[in-house]
Chain A
Amino acid sequence: MKKLMIALASATALLASSAMAQEKLKVGAAPYGLNAEFMQIWSAALEEHPAVKSGEIELTVFDGRYDALVQQEQFNTMITQKFNAIVFVPIDIDAGATAVEAAHDAGIPVVGSNTRVNSDLLAAYVGSDDTVSGYMEAKTVLDKIGCKGNVVIIEGPIGQSAQISRLEGNMKALAECPDVKVLEQQTANWSRAEAQTLMENWLTSHSGQINGVIGQNDEMALGAIEAIKAAGLDVGDFAIAGIDGVTDALHAVKEGTMTSILQDARAQAQGALDLAIFHATKDGSYTPQSDIWAQYPDMPFNDGKDKEYNVPWTPVTSENVDKLLEMRQ
């Protein structure tokens, strides 16, 4: 009998504690996939957010496995489990809209991060404008070759939002240099190995004519560098640029073989999480806890009122590269 009493008492205690846990905000993060370095840094930054570390909120990260349908099903899971807010990085600009609508209908605020989704139901979006980075990287290449000569463009998967916007930026910069000819423009699907093969073949078909390489991400720029080295050419004779600031690219910038523009995954992740918590608390009492708001005075939190937050791009230079590399350790 005594035993039963104890069991009952502890069961009540358990129930009480789980009821208390219910009051803790549950935030789900749905990145499109966790295989590549950028999204790894992004999700690691979420775990490092002060509200997660202090146990104030409960964070669950779902791996979207690069599949729009998988992401949609994860949304359904989060809706049934009554999550309080969702941070969303859609794989596809259009396919993500259905998921956002379902969450919105269930009264769960969704904050977009990193990649865009064609939906006006997002509570807010924290990302970086890819047309700006596309313009910046093409500009560094064109400046280095003195606004004349020939360039090649290695593109991301055709139709993906980053590819479309970065190309738009590339073209804007190229329009300012009418004497520069684009010899080739092809996709290497963000892949280093594919870009290496493309560049090997282009170095053959345009032997001695290529002055600049505009890689729409770092991986592909790095592939081009390997192809140039393998062909026995001097990488210094080429102006090469990439975007994202992945670790290998930071090393390459340090060596002086390419330029890169850092896309701040940490700011995009932690900024979006702050906004998700803000919209989940509903009474507007939440103040952001991440230090990224202090880091980027040009992007104020503005009491959570804004729909769009633009995280500025940071060109990687020989001055800041060591500090950036340190942050990766």
Chain B
Amino acid sequence: MSSVENKTSNTWLNSDRRRLIVQEYGIFFAFLLLVGILAVSNEFFLTPGNISNVLLQTSINGILAIGMTFVILTRGIDLSVGSVVALAGIVSASFVTSSATAGVFGAPYPMALALVIGILVGVGCGALVGLIVARFSVPAFVATLGMLSAARGATLIYGGGRPVPGLTPEFRWIGTGNILGVPMPVILLALVFLVSWWVLARTRFGRYIYAVGGNPRAAKTSGLNVSRIRFLVYVISGALSGLAGMILSARTGSALPQAGIAYELDAIAAVVIGGTSLSGGVGRVTGTLIGALIIGVMNNGLDLMGIQSYYQQVLKGALIVGAVMLDQKRNQGD
């Protein structure tokens, strides 16, 4: 995969790409090492059931982190994903609930309608943020911080602060169903990953994203519509947050207004561990996927060994900082 990638990349990206691939291997080896340690220390870790669990538990964060990768590649950040997860989850759920009081008029509707609405809610939030960032030059940190608060408030207003229970089995299938034994959320993550990989590595739009993040001024002078690209990455992140929100409510069986709190932190962590630079222009979704898997595997492994979740948080913190320290060191070495 890496050799093919190199051929398509622009010359001015080459050293970055090379550095990134080295780091991605590093992250991949760290991942294998972690898997190895857990496999040796716990007999259940490598059982098919547990592997399926880890992938399942990684799927929501994985999808959010991939959306976050698009944003971070343009030097942005999206702090609103957790709140958008809750909003899209509760709005879409209100269309597929069999509860007499929690749903919209005429619910339950077919799953397809709820899916479209959930994605549209995400796209709407992303478009609003994108507009504010791209058109009014508000820093992404501020714009998405605003959306973090506003979308959470909107969630509480929409549902009256109450959960939307009783989702139809048809809708719950996207969270609890499987195809040939592979859980649906994992299939959705795989699809999101493949499409995103293709967009970033193979399309003109993907190259523009790297260009905008690598050097916005150069991108502008070479005629790229920088604000349009900035706008679109937030729409992508929003749409994926919407998807993740629906998977979450389908999994838990009820859309909860307090869902998704602090999910943005795990998503950013996965991106950073995966080697994407917060200063933009460098990074790949492959790394992000491995970053999300590392977090998922670590949480799962420590649960299996019966270690308190507080240690998981400490380890995750160390991992994030460690990954960036390695990144810095390699930068200086180049």
Contacts A35-B258, A198-B303 given; does A204 touch B50 at CB 8 Å: yes
23 pairs, A vs B, C-beta closer than 8 Å: A34-B156, A34-B161, A35-B156, A36-B258, A40-B161, A158-B310, A187-B309, A188-B309, A193-B248, A193-B251, A196-B252, A200-B57, A204-B44, A205-B42, A205-B303, A205-B306, A207-B44, A222-B252, A222-B254, A230-B56, A248-B163, A248-B253, A251-B166
B-facing mask of A222-251, CB < 8 A → 1, else 0?
110010011100000000000000111001
Q: Knowing that A34-B161, A200-B57 are A-B contacts, what are 18 other residue pairs whose CB atoms are under 8 Å apart, sorted by A's residue number?
A: A36-B258, A188-B309, A193-B248, A193-B259, A196-B251, A197-B57, A197-B303, A200-B53, A200-B56, A202-B303, A205-B42, A205-B304, A222-B254, A230-B251, A246-B163, A247-B163, A247-B165, A329-B101
A37 on the interface (CB 8 Å rule)?
yes
Query: Bound complex: CA of A111 vs CA of B173, how far in Å?
Result: 47
Which single residue of chain A is at the shortest CB-CB distance from B183? Answer: A230
Chain A residue total in the interface (Cβ 8 A): 35
Cβ of B176: which chain A residues have Cβ within 8 Å of it?
A: 226, 229-230
Query: Bound complex: CA of A219 vs CA of B165, how far in Å?
Result: 12
A186 on the interface (CB 8 Å rule)?
yes
Cβ of A207: which chain B residues have Cβ within 8 Å of it?
A: 44, 49
B252 touches A247 (CB 8 A): no
B196 on the interface (CB 8 Å rule)?
no
CB distance from B238 to the nearest CB of A (A): 21
Cβ of B166: which chain A residues have Cβ within 8 Å of it?
A: 251
Contacts A231-B49, A248-B254, A329-B101 given; does A201 touch B161 at CB 8 Å: no
B165 touches A248 (CB 8 A): yes
CB distance from A76 to the nearest CB of B (A): 23
Which single residue of chain B is at the shortest CB-CB distance from A190? Answer: B258
CB distance from A221 to the nearest CB of B (A): 12
A47 on the interface (CB 8 Å rule)?
no
B212 on the interface (CB 8 Å rule)?
no
B-facing mask of A243-271, CB < 8 A → 1, else 0?
00011100100000000000000000000
B161 touches A204 (CB 8 A): no
Cβ of A116: which chain B residues have Cβ within 8 Å of it?
A: none
A26 on the interface (CB 8 Å rule)?
no
CB distance from B169 to the nearest CB of A (A): 11
CB distance from B153 to the nearest CB of A (A): 10
Contacts A186-B308, A230-B176, A247-B162 given; does A204 touch B47 at CB 8 Å: yes
Cβ of A196: which chain B residues have Cβ within 8 Å of it?
A: 251-252
Cβ of B277: which chain A residues have Cβ within 8 Å of it?
A: none
